[in-house]
Protein backbone atom coordinates (compact mmCIF):
# COMPACT_ATOMS: atom_id res chain seq x y z
CA UNK A 1 0.00 0.00 0.00
CA UNK A 2 2.76 2.43 0.95
CA UNK A 3 4.68 1.59 -2.22
CA UNK A 4 1.71 2.36 -4.46
CA UNK A 5 1.16 5.72 -2.76
CA UNK A 6 4.87 6.52 -3.07
CA UNK A 7 4.94 5.69 -6.79
CA UNK A 8 1.75 7.64 -7.41
CA UNK A 9 3.17 10.73 -5.70
CA UNK A 10 6.47 10.31 -7.56
CA UNK A 11 4.64 10.09 -10.88
CA UNK A 12 2.64 13.26 -10.15
CA UNK A 13 5.79 15.12 -9.10
CA UNK A 14 7.68 14.13 -12.26
CA UNK A 15 4.72 15.07 -14.47
CA UNK A 16 4.30 18.49 -12.90
CA UNK A 17 8.04 19.23 -13.04
CA UNK A 18 8.36 18.33 -16.72
CA UNK A 19 5.32 20.39 -17.78
CA UNK A 20 6.64 23.42 -15.86
CA UNK A 21 10.05 23.08 -17.55
CA UNK A 22 8.42 23.00 -21.01
CA UNK A 23 6.55 26.24 -20.29
CA UNK A 24 9.64 28.01 -18.95
CA UNK A 25 11.72 27.19 -22.05
CA UNK A 26 9.33 28.94 -24.43
CA UNK A 27 10.44 32.41 -25.48
CA UNK A 28 8.12 35.39 -25.34
CA UNK A 29 7.78 37.40 -28.57
CA UNK A 30 5.90 40.45 -29.83
CA UNK A 31 3.76 40.46 -32.96
CA UNK A 32 0.79 42.16 -34.57
CA UNK A 33 -2.65 40.58 -34.85
CA UNK A 34 -3.10 41.72 -38.46
CA UNK A 35 -2.22 38.93 -40.93
CA UNK A 36 -0.54 41.48 -43.25
CA UNK A 37 2.25 41.82 -40.68
CA UNK A 38 4.09 38.53 -41.06
CA UNK A 39 6.88 38.74 -38.49
CA UNK A 40 7.55 38.64 -34.77
CA UNK A 41 10.35 40.05 -32.62
CA UNK A 42 11.93 39.16 -29.29
CA UNK A 43 11.85 42.83 -28.22
CA UNK A 44 9.36 45.55 -29.09
CA UNK A 45 10.29 47.82 -31.98
CA UNK A 46 8.82 51.20 -32.95
CA UNK A 47 8.77 50.19 -36.63
CA UNK A 48 6.65 47.10 -35.90
CA UNK A 49 4.29 49.10 -33.68
CA UNK A 50 3.86 51.74 -36.43
CA UNK A 51 3.24 49.10 -39.09
CA UNK A 52 0.75 47.34 -36.85
CA UNK A 53 -1.11 50.61 -36.25
CA UNK A 54 -1.10 51.34 -39.99
CA UNK A 55 -2.86 48.02 -40.65
CA UNK A 56 -5.21 48.60 -37.69
CA UNK A 57 -3.88 45.64 -35.78
CA UNK A 58 -2.95 45.23 -32.13
CA UNK A 59 0.42 44.33 -30.69
CA UNK A 60 0.45 41.14 -28.66
CA UNK A 61 2.97 39.50 -26.37
CA UNK A 62 2.83 35.70 -26.77
CA UNK A 63 4.87 32.54 -26.79
CA UNK A 64 7.05 32.00 -29.84
CA UNK A 65 5.24 28.80 -30.82
CA UNK A 66 1.90 30.64 -30.90
CA UNK A 67 3.36 33.25 -33.26
CA UNK A 68 4.70 30.49 -35.52
CA UNK A 69 1.27 28.84 -35.51
CA UNK A 70 -0.17 32.14 -36.76
CA UNK A 71 2.21 31.97 -39.75
CA UNK A 72 4.62 34.60 -38.42
CA UNK A 73 8.40 34.40 -38.91
CA UNK A 74 11.24 35.83 -36.85
CA UNK A 75 12.67 39.12 -38.14
CA UNK A 76 14.84 41.93 -36.84
CA UNK A 77 13.66 45.48 -36.30
CA UNK A 78 15.59 46.60 -39.37
CA UNK A 79 13.69 44.14 -41.58
CA UNK A 80 10.28 45.59 -40.72
CA UNK A 81 9.13 47.64 -43.74
Structural domains counted in the chain: 1
The phi and psi torsions of 51 (rounded to 5 degrees) equal -65, -40
Return per-residue pLDDT of the chain as tens, 81 residues: 766 665 565 566 666 665 554 555 689 999 999 988 999 999 999 999 999 999 999 999 999 999 999 999 999 999 887
Enter the pTM of the model: 0.67
d(CA 9, CA 71): 40
What distance in Å separates the CA atoms of residue 22 and residue 40, rounded to the nearest whole number? Answer: 21
pLDDT at 14: 64
Residue 4: phi, psi to the nearest 5? -65, -40
Q: What are phi and psi of 17, to 5 degrees?
A: -65, -45
- Coil, strand, or helix at residue 12? helix
Alpha carbon distance 12, 32 (integer Å): 38
Supply the pLDDT for residue 18: 53
Domain region containing 62? 2-79
Amino acid sequence: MKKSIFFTLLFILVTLTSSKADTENQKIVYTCTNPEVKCYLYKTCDKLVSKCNLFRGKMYKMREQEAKNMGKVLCSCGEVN
